Amino acid sequence: MSEIERDVCVVIGSGGMGRVIARRVGQGRTVLLADRNPDALEPVAAAMRDDGFTVETCAVDVTSSDSFQELAQVATSLGPVRFVVHTAGVSPAQGSVAQILGVNILGPSLMLETFANVVSPGGAAVVIASSAGYLDVGPLDRDTIEQLCRVPATELLDLPVLAVDRFASGSPAYRISKRVAQLRVRGAVRDWAARGCRVNSVSPGVTATPMGREERDASNVAAARLISGSAAGRSATAEEIAEAVAFLFSPSASFIYGADLLVDGGAIAAIDSGLLSLTS
């Protein structure tokens, strides 16, 4: 460890959004980049080091509790953990229903459970969810919502509402996976607050990252309409999402707990007000 102990910022997911967020919130800190693919980590880390960042890497399987425990051990060995950002996810164009539910639900849930006992007092975490979580996910009664918020992560995928055979395709599975990510943040608020920490989520709209482009290229009419029908009339940039994360980590957000910050250029507002339809 260096003579001057730096705070640690853990960024889970080294894709387009993760690497931009790491640069935005990692200045003056030790950045621990984590991803399932070790080969993808080193080029990102090397580029950041070339630009003056202090960066370490760690492989992680976001569907494994043991893997998260190992990640937490690496993080604490580097210094006091101040911030955690979970960006890892699978889109409908990238995986099966089972993969979408596993990565997008277990990942944030296991992170929240594991790092609730790790982040230093005064620290915070942000889960990257999606504006898709605001779209139709079917009826969710109060008991189901409470279960989705608080059931232990390892039991989540056993809930009937998350059964793989309920979903005809990846899109509805993706929507509910992101809704659950938002709910898990709410359910974790008290546990994190007991340690003097905050946790929130950010729900981007269609964003100009490799994942976002892959969705648009997959003949995704809904993605195109979310862009053209939004108030902004364009995709978000990864830098704009990173600014939202930085705000939630800042003292200016000190009274924000368990919130979801919707950063979608006004697309959901247009849907809710009847100005935008994704089906006609």
54-59 vs 30-35, strand pairing mode? parallel
Choice among 83, 115, 134, 174 that is catalytic = 174
Choice among 24, 29, 82, 178 that is catalytic = 178
C-alpha–C-alpha distance, residues 98 and 173, integer Å: 9
Per-residue 3-state assignment (H helix, E strand, C coil) for the chain: CCCCCCCEEEEECCCHHHHHHHHHHCCCCEEEEEECCHHHHHHHHHHHHHCCCEEEEEECCCCCHHHHHHHHHHHHHHCCEEEEEECCCCCCCCCCHHHHHHHHHHHHHHHHHHHCCCCCCCCEEEEECCHHHHCCCCCCCHHHHHHHHHCCHHHHHHCHHHCHHHCCCHHHHHHHHHHHHHHHHHHHHHHHHCCCCEEEEEEECCECCHHHHHHHHCCCHHHHHHHHCCCCCCCECHHHHHHHHHHHHCHHHCCCCCCEEEECCCHHHHHHCCCCCCCC
- Is residue 174 annotated as a catalytic residue, yes or no? yes
C-beta separation of 78 from 54 below 8 A: no
C-beta separation of 120 from 81 below 8 A: yes
How far from chain centre, in Å, is Cα 8?
18
C-alpha–C-alpha distance, residues 277 and 270, integer Å: 8
Active site residues: 174, 178
